């Protein structure tokens, strides 16, 4: 069983949802990212998502755009990100790590080499924003060969018919982009989730994580009441900018409390 | 000339929206259903004679087509070689070829029941053309434009506002065309239910490269017929500038299967291709994925996109349409580079000899004609797509010549 599947199986037995906080690699430097990864794992993160900086992040709002720019200024490269993962893995063998980014840097690295190196470094899954199912054959064989989960995005615009195609070949969990929009802007309501999640549930047995616009412990709790995991990104980056890494970990603790307060049927 | 043989170079893209390995649909899932819907709507429209009739009506009575074919005798005599013909797209309404595509796309938007239009623009020509058709059809229009371009293309910004469009300056990245396109895509993702994105060049996710090309093919189709009437034969060389590449593919497409016609695309070499300040994606870049398509890109060793540079805001883009990438790889089209300085010289020469102030974009192609025409025979023919007029560029040119207007 993959590390990601293992975490969701355990949480199901415990009757709770997962918290997936986000770290933009090298924002504002490598040391801070490593501190955040370790600290998040120790403060209630069940899985951690790591953003790979790209010059043209077309699905991201101003907060993650700026974080990516700071990361690139600090010298982030894919090799550097994998090095960060490798270092984290020396001390933590159980917290799943998912890389999120855009295709071009991976394509430039070489898809096959990247999947091999990512698996070796200790990466568990990949989210490639601009790789829809129509183009996924570029990555799937290499990800599968290296036991990396390919996590698919599902959007409010994804029809029931299309869901089948989107979910074919996906593993780990499903990432539900809960709003039509970019990261860190609007927030889906409880009513939206109550309407949307069962639709996806009907099409897959995979756990469903909800991202885009999840900011507070209350919102994270609402998310896991309907889905299986809450992904929180932009608000943590804002806290890092305004305060520091300590404050981010404080917020992660609060978010984890929010998530844990919701008891789900096992 | 419309019969496609199985090996025709004009039969692309394939079912996946690819030209060879280039093109495709690399977009976030939120947009994917829309892109499929657009493709379906375009296929239906293209097969509908009523759509064609409506398009022809606007092209004739609103845009002013057909645009003339002009024998540039004085330029030809001055250079002492080939006969030079200009396909005068700069005489279209709004002063460039961009309007051909905008009319086509807004008719498509109307058929799809979309009620809001967005666009990106570099030099402002596509923004003005989009604002124009939005005024004509009474649809609200938002144009994304890099903050740097807003500053260097003030007259076009004012034109767009006069036409009722909202111009949003984009300050992310280098604040030029690439960043404007990012923000237009972000707007589209957030407003998928009512918004149609009119992309200005033959790039982006499939079906855009195909449909923009199809709407621009009127350039080459007309020019071919006009040249047949004037000279009774095809040109020896067809030449155009390439930024994203819509004016070039519009001219080239009809000639792709004509082996006797040499096709030349002219990239902006900026301050020189040996420097880092150019926009020569095909000559100096390598294949990658940006803005929804696989194509040649200016990028660093880590796959991060580099900033382009050109004196011409319309060529200032680190990518190129995917069909050009393919035509480059199969060597059907030659892609050459012309520097800022060479373009400035051609800009002045054309103005003085022909009484036509060309857009700086086209001045790049004219500069290459200055190199090849003298080596060609007097019975040979060069066909240039004069895709835009240079009025928008006079401030930039004046500044480079050390003059204050």
Q: Percentage helix, strand, coil, to 5, in chain B?
A: 45, 20, 35
- Residue B98 catalytic? yes
Indicate whether B2 pLDDT > 70: no
Beta-bridged to residue B159, according to DSSP, are: none
* DSSP structural state of residue B61: I
Indicate whether B329 pLDDT > 70: yes
B29 in A contact zone (CB under 8 Å): yes
The helix or strand, by DSSP H or E, that contains position A151, with its residue range, turns out to be none
Alpha-carbon gap, residue B66 to B264, rounded angstroms: 23
Q: Are B294 and B364 in contact (CB under 8 A)?
A: no
Which site among B173, B303, B308 would you substitute to test the A interface, given the most A Cβ atoms closer than 10 Å to its Cβ? B303
Residue percentage of chain B with pLDDT more than 90: 92
Q: Measured between alpha carbons, how far apart are the two ends of chain B, in Å?
A: 49
Indicate whether B315 pLDDT > 80: yes
Alpha-carbon gap, residue A123 to A121, rounded angstroms: 6
Alpha-carbon gap, residue A73 to B20, rounded angstroms: 35
pLDDT band for A60, please (50, 70, 90 cuts): very high
Alpha-carbon gap, residue B96 to B136, rounded angstroms: 17
pLDDT for residue B256: 98
Alpha-carbon gap, residue B248 to B252, rounded angstroms: 6
Length of chain B: 405
Q: Picking from A43-52, A141-150, A163-172, B248-257, which range would have the lowest pLDDT averaged per residue?
A: A163-172
Instruction: State pTM to two decimals.
Output: 0.96
Instruction: Tally Cβ neighbours within 10 Å of residue B263.
Output: 22
pLDDT for residue B314: 84
Indicate whether A66 pLDDT > 90: yes
For the segment A197-206, the average pLDDT, to the nearest whole number, is: 95
pLDDT for residue B72: 98
Tens digit of each residue's pLDDT (9 = 90 or more) over B109-160 = 999 999 999 999 988 999 999 999 999 999 999 999 999 889 878 889 999 9
* DSSP structural state of residue B63: I
Q: Are A50 and A84 in contact (CB under 8 A)?
A: yes
B309 by DSSP, 3-state: which? coil
Instruction: Tally Cβ neighbours within 10 Å of residue B1.
Output: 11
Q: Using CA of residue B322, residue B327, residue B331, residue B337, what is the dihedral sign?
A: negative
Tens digit of each residue's pLDDT (9 = 90 or more) over B59-76 = 999 999 999 999 999 999
The helix or strand, by DSSP H or E, that contains position B343, with its residue range, turns out to be helix B340-354
Structure-derived torsion over alpha carbons of residues A42, A44, A49, A55, reported in degrees to the nearest 10: -80
pLDDT for residue A266: 60
pLDDT band for B172, please (50, 70, 90 cuts): confident
Q: Are B335 and B267 in contact (CB under 8 A)?
A: yes
pLDDT for residue B151: 86
All residues of chain B having their beta carbon less than 8 Å from the beta carbon of residue A83 are: none
Which site among A106, A139, A157 would you substitute to test the B interface, given the most B Cβ atoms closer than 10 Å to its Cβ? A157
Alpha-carbon gap, residue A196 to A175, rounded angstroms: 13
pLDDT for residue B1: 43
Q: Are B206 and B23 in contact (CB under 8 A)?
A: yes
Q: Measured between alpha carbons, how far apart are the two ends of chain A, in Å?
A: 19
Alpha-carbon gap, residue B361 to B315, rounded angstroms: 7
pLDDT for residue B3: 55
pLDDT band for B14, please (50, 70, 90 cuts): very high
pLDDT for residue B173: 78
pLDDT for residue B48: 98
Q: Picking from A104-118, A126-140, B62-76, B310-324, which range would have the lowest pLDDT averaged per residue?
A: B310-324
Q: Are B306 and B278 in contact (CB under 8 A)?
A: no
Q: Are B163 and B135 in contact (CB under 8 A)?
A: yes
HSE-CB for A259 with a 13 A CA cutoff: 31
Cβ distance B192 to A157 less than 8 Å, yes or no, reads yes
All residues of chain A having their beta carbon less than 8 Å from the beta carbon of residue B288 are: 104, 107-108
A-to-B residue pairs, Cβ atoms closer than 8 angstroms: 117
**Separate counts of helices (H) and strands (E) for chain A:** 12, 9
Q: Picking from A168-182, B286-300, B348-362, which range would have the lowest pLDDT averaged per residue?
A: A168-182
Q: Minimal Cα–Cα distance from A183 to chain B, Å?
A: 10
Backbone dihedral angles phi then psi of residue B394, each to the nearest 5 degrees: -60, -30
Instruction: Tally Cβ neighbours within 10 Å of residue B164.
Output: 14
All residues of chain B having their beta carbon less than 8 Å from the beta carbon of residue A185 are: 190
For the segment B219-247, the average pLDDT, to the nearest whole number, is: 97
Indicate whether B227 pLDDT > 80: yes
Helices (H), B59-176: 73-79, 98-111, 125-137, 147-152, 154-162
- Decide: residue B354, CB within 10 A, 0-12 exposed, 13-18 middle, 19+ buried: buried
Tell me what ipTM this predicted complex has.
0.95
Closest Cα in chain A to B171: A62
């Amino acid at each position: 069983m993959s590390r990601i599947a293992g975490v969701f199986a355990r949480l199901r037995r415990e009757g709770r949802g997962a918290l997936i906080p986000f770290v933009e690699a090298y924002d504002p430097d490598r040391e801070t990212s490593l501190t955040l990864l370790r600290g998040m794992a120790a403060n209630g993160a069940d899985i951690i998502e790591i953003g790979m900086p790209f010059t043209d992040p077309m699905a991201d709002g101003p907060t993650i755009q700026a974080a990516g720019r700071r990361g690139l200024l600090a010298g982030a490269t894919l090799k550097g990100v994998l090095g960060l993962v490798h270092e984290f893995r020396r001390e933590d063998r159980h917290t799943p790590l998912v890389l999120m980014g855009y295709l071009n840097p991976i394509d430039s690295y070489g898809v096959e080499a990247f999947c091999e190196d990512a698996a070796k470094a200790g990466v568990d899954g990949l989210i490639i924003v601009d790789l829809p199912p129509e183009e996924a054959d570029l990555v799937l064989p290499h990800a599968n060969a290296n036991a990396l989960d390919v996590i698919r995005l599902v959007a409010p615009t994804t029809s029931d018919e299309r869901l089948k195609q989107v979910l074919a070949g996906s593993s780990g969990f499903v990432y539900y982009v809960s709003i039509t929009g970019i990261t860190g802007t609007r927030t889906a309501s409880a009513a939206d989730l109550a309407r949307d999640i069962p639709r996806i549930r009907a099409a897959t047995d995979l756990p469903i994580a909800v991202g885009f616009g999840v900011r507070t412990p209350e919102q994270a709790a609402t998310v896991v009441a309907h889905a299986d995991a809450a992904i929180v990104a932009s608000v943590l980056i804002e806290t890092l900018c305004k305060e520091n890494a300590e404050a981010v970990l404080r917020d992660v603790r609060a978010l984890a409390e929010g998530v844990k307060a919701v008891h789900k049927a096992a | 000339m419309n019969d496609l043989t199985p090996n025709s170079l004009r039969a692309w893209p394939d079912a996946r929206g690819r030209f060879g390995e280039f093109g495709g649909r690399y977009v976030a899932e939120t947009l994917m259903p829309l892109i499929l819907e657009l493709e379906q709507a375009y296929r239906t429209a293209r097969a509908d004679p009523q759509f064609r009739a409506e398009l022809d009506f606007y092209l004739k009575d609103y845009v002013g087509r057909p645009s003339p074919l002009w024998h540039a005798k004085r330029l030809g005599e001055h250079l002492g070689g080939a006969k030079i013909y200009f396909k005068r797209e700069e005489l279209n309404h709004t002063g460039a070829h961009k309007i051909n595509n905008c009319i086509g796309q807004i008719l498509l938007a109307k058929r799809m029941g979309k009620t809001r239009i967005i666009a990106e623009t570099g030099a402002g020509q596509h923004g003005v053309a989009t604002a124009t058709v939005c005024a004509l059809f009474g649809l609200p229009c938002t144009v994304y434009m890099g903050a740097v371009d807003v500053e260097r293309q003030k007259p076009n910004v004012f034109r767009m506002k006069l036409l009722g469009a909202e111009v949003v300056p984009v300050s992310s990245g280098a604040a030029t065309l690439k960043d404007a396109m990012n923000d237009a895509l972000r707007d589209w993702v957030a407003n998928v239910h009512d918004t149609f994105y009119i992309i200005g060049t033959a790039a982006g996710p499939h079906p855009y490269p195909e449909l923009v090309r199809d709407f621009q093919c009127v350039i080459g189709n007309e020019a071919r017929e006009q040249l047949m009437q004037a000279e009774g034969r095809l040109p020896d060389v067809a030449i155009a500038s390439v930024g994203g590449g819509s004016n070039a593919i519009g001219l080239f497409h009809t000639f792709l299967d004509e082996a006797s016609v040499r096709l030349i695309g002219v990239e902006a070499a900026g301050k020189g291709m040996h420097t880092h300040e150019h926009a020569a994606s095909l000559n100096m870049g390598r294949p990658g994925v940006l803005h929804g398509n696989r194509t040649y890109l200016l990028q660093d060793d880590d796959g991060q996109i580099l900033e382009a540079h050109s004196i011409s805001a319309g060529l200032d883009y680190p990518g190129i349409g995917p069909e050009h990438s393919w035509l480059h790889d199969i060597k059907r089209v030659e892609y050459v580079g012309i520097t800022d300085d060479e373009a400035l010289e051609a800009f002045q020469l054309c103005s003085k000899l022909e009484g036509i102030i060309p857009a700086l974009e086209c001045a790049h192609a004219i500069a290459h004609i200055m190199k090849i025409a003298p080596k060609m025979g007097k019975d040979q023919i060069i066909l240039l797509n004069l895709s835009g007029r240079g009025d928008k560029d006079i401030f930039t040119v004046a500044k480079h010549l050390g003059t204050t207007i």
